[in-house]
Structure 1
Amino acid sequence: MDKQIQEMSRPDYRRIYNDIIIKKHPDKKEKCQSFLLKKQLSALDIIKLNSLIFDSGDRECIAFNQKNKAYNRSAIQEILEYQIKNKLNNTQLASHFKLSRNTIAKWKKMIMS
């Protein structure tokens, strides 16, 4: 029952990003179309979609977005699987996802134990 409640409380990112693209960034619709056609977006898909839409090089915007990121257990597992699949060390992974190396190390300890 808890799983059903969690699934229902998860935002519909596909609809949210679709609305943002239509209203604010219609020029980026083609780039993002492959993500928007998916039935359910994974955590990595959301991160990629967000970077496609908003990362324009504005330092203030990037800093604001970084402060407001939150990751659930499945997102953390996806990121750590990405590290294994692409044979990245903690520094490379942190740089790729714009995270702290300490955060990656903390997640590894949390998942391993």
Structure 2
Amino acid sequence: MKNLGPDYKKIYTDILHLKYPHKWEMCQLLLNKKQLSFFDIIKINALIFGSVSKEASVFNQKHRSYSKEAIIKILEYQEKNQLNNTQVALHFKLSRNSIAKWKKNFKDINM
């Protein structure tokens, strides 16, 4: 079987068992899902690590990549909640330009 990306369930389970066993119960419901969504990964990360410093946040944001499915979910979230590009960008800590580019590239996909 082709590897489609990181096994986030295994990564977060290992992190919880090794470094944050006291946070296991908070994350257990999400980790028991068959497959983690983009939103689940963001939520688990926030539950485990909390907020990070401004410098760390900027560094991490520069190295993020998004799958086609994640982009579509973000755009669906925008449409469902009737948000403008700025509001979505602030919510997901993205650039407004990224949102605009994605909307242009994925406008043919039915959401």
Q: Same fold, TM exceeding 0.5?
A: yes
Larger helix proportion of the pair: 1
Distance in 2, Cα, partners of 1:86 & 1:111: 18
Aligned residue number for residue 9 of structure 1: 4
Amino acid at match of 1:85: K
Aligned residue number for residue 62 of structure 1: 57
Unaligned runs of 5+ in 1: none
Amino acid at match of 1:31: M
Query: How far apart are residue 52 of structure 1 and its match?
Result: 2.1
Aligned residue number for residue 111 of structure 1: 106
Aligned residue number for residue 79 of structure 2: 84
Quick one: which of 68, 72, 83 aligns to 1:73? 68
- Normalising by structure 1, report the TM-score: 0.84
- What secondary structure does 1:112 align onto? coil
Amino acid at match of 1:80: L
- Normalising by structure 2, report the TM-score: 0.86
- What secondary structure does 1:75 align onto? helix
Query: CA-atom RMSD, angstroms?
Result: 1.6
Aligned residues: 108
Query: How far apart are residue 76 of structure 1 and its match?
Result: 0.2
1:96 and 2:97 matched: no
Unaligned runs of 5+ in 2: none
Query: How far apart are residue 109 of structure 1 and its match?
Result: 0.4
Distance in 2, Cα, partners of 1:58 & 1:10: 27
